Amino acid sequence: MAETGMGSPRRARASDASQHAQAEEAPTSAELEAILAAAAAWADADIDAGTRAEARALIERASAGDANAVSELRSAFGGRLAFGTAGLRGRLGAGPKRMNRVVVSQTSAGFAAYLWEEAKRRGAADAPSVVIGYDGRLGSAVFARDTAEVMSGAGISTYLLPEAGPTPLTAFAVRHLDVSAGVMITASHNPPRDNGYKVYLGDADAGSQIAPPTDTAIAAHIERAAAAPVGELPRAHGYSVLGSGVADAYVAETSAAVLAGLPQRPDAPGVALGSDTDLRVVYTAMHGVGAELAQRVFLSCGLPRATPVREQLLPDGRFPTVDFPNPEEPGALDLAYRTARAANADLIVAHDPDADRLALAAPHPAEASGYRRLTGNELGLLLGWRAAERAVAEARQREVAVRGALACTIVSSPALRAVAAAYGLDYAETLSGFKWVSRVPELVFGFEEALGYLIHPAVVRDKDGISASADAIAMVRELAAEGRTIWDRLDEASERFGHFASGQVTLRLPSMAAASALAARVRRDPPRELGGARVADARDLLVPGAAEVPADVLRYDLADGSRVMIRPSGTEPKLKVYLDTFSDAGAAAERRAAAERALGDLERSVRAYLEGLQAEAASA
């Protein structure tokens, strides 16, 4: 698969992989023969001409002594791409540890068998049903059709969305169509070479992502399906290709939920506050699939039509203008900043390629670009605060007690706890992932620091960048009507709740195994102090009972009230470290300065500690 882009990170990854291949210990002749035999058997059974040719080319090169080809064969054929709570996500290519038509077909057969097993267990009278969506990545449309054919061949009532669309639309469709499950073909904001297979459940799960132990049960069925030749899996074309009805319903229900929460002008009941304000918005789809649905929701809510970043407007699985199609990554918003400067925009709205995440940027005099992006924690605080105000207003209108919960993942800022306490709402911290956030009882709002926001749980039971962006645009428009900015609102939050400063240290590593190995070294040699503060409490969430399910997360609460969370990424070869500090002394500016100073000291200390562990590992 070709990769294109502006920067060097992709070249660096390729170089790292090449050096890693050269450093690997050469396989014995018996090991090499076994690898070559496995690859040849795969190629003979492969249903796709492209990956079949790829496997045979690797076999030929490896047989001729090409060390890089041997390494690639080992990587692609040495096991199977693991199915977990996030479904599948991996590199496109040949082999059972890659994303390809064979793996997708086997996964679909296994998932279909699981759905039949569950239907029989519940004594359901009707066949299980599934809706399938897909994004604009390379291979997504083909994988979606394979999924539909295999599901239909297994007797599942199968519905395929008519075109590439956002992940939130598939999550919505599960509930809207009242089906047993949903499949979304996407790798979200991963690099261009990746794709994935994401699973939702209907019925009592209401369109939430799967959670343990469902993933284990599905994985067992996939293993059984993979034992048979892929060409023998039953396929049928009896699935239904849906029309525009699901998208129309999503726009209607999302818009209604957003409009219901808009504050009204005190002098004009029924007219939304700020609706007569001229707000200029720039939007980027990041080469993804969010643009059309987002604009429809904005206009349906009476929000301004956004000016698009035209170079990134249409779906393109090569992501030619960005090194990483993720609004969090440095440089990803450069074209949006340029478009915003030309338009003198008041706000930048950015979605990731499948539009389940949202980034927001606003004019800021201290930035060379003219704009500053809010962190996920800052936007989570503001949207959560807005949701809390909405919950209280609705309770007063109905003359009932305030009920509901605000939730965030354990690696997100604890600022939401202060908001919940101020408004009499429950508060929950969950393990990372919206499979946990979405299941919090009486959820009003949930978020994760990685730009994920669940704004309206009654509409979509997953993170949704489109509904979140509509709510955010309305919020900024209301502030503008009052002569204020989003930065003023953050200062107001600091005055009311104290200032929470958050940061992140991300170490890119050669593999996900390397990230897990570094986390294991932290366990063996834990820090005793960080940022000049003693570690007052250490918790390892792999210890049984420390979390709802064991998780590879380490938490260190420091004596000065700061917090450090360390975990390997579940989808990328990274070790992620989340830092939080707090100050409630003085005015907003003083609180911010104190918390930011503490954050800087903490980050330097954490980097030095991890670099020391890496140096020890390299010298061992």
Q: Dihedral of CA 8/14/17/23: which sign?
A: negative
Alpha-carbon distance of 546 to 527, in angstroms, equals 19
Report residue 364 as tokens: 């800021």
Three-class SS of residue 143?
Answer: helix
Any residues with CB less than 8 A from the CB of 14 and at least 6 apart, and which? none
Q: How many angstroms separate the CA atoms of 81 and 222, rounded?
A: 11
Cis amide prior to 213 (ω within 30 degrees): yes
Alpha-carbon distances, residue 88 vs 80, 543, 557 (angstroms): 11, 26, 33
Counting beta carbons within 10 angstroms of the beta carbon of residue 54, is it exposed (0 to 12), middle (13 to 18) or buried (19 or more)?
Answer: buried
User: For residue 41, what are its two tokens?
Assistant: 């058997």
Q: Which of 203, 117, 210, 186 is nearest to 156 (CA)?
A: 117
Q: Helix (H, G, I), strand (E, B), or coil: what is residue 469?
A: helix
At 345, list the tokens: 């925009």
CA distance 373 to 363: 9
Residue 188 catalytic? Answer: yes
Tokens 């915003």 belong to residue: 340
Q: Which residue has the tokens 């999302």?
A: 254
Amino acid in the structure at residue 75: S
How many other C-beta atoms are found inside a 10 Å radius of the C-beta of residue 462? 26
Reported in sequence order, the residue ranges of 3-79 that DSSP labels E, i.e. its strands, are none
Q: Tell me which of 108, 188, 502, 583 is the catalytic residue.
A: 188
Number of H helices, E strands in the chain: 18, 24
Amino acid letter for position 422: A
Record the tokens describing residue 537, joined without a space: 């409490």
Kindly list the distances between the CA atom of residue 216 and the CA atoms of 80, 211, 223, in Å, as whole numbers in the listed order. Answer: 14, 9, 11
As a whole number of angstroms, the distance between CA 495 and CA 334 comes to 32
Q: How far is CA 15 from CA 9, 21, 365, 510, 517, in A?
A: 10, 10, 39, 11, 22
- Per residue in 58-79, is it b (16+ CB within 10 Å) or e — as a string? bbebbeeeeebbbbbbbbbbee
In one-letter notation, the amino acid at residue 183 is V
- Catalytically active residues are 188
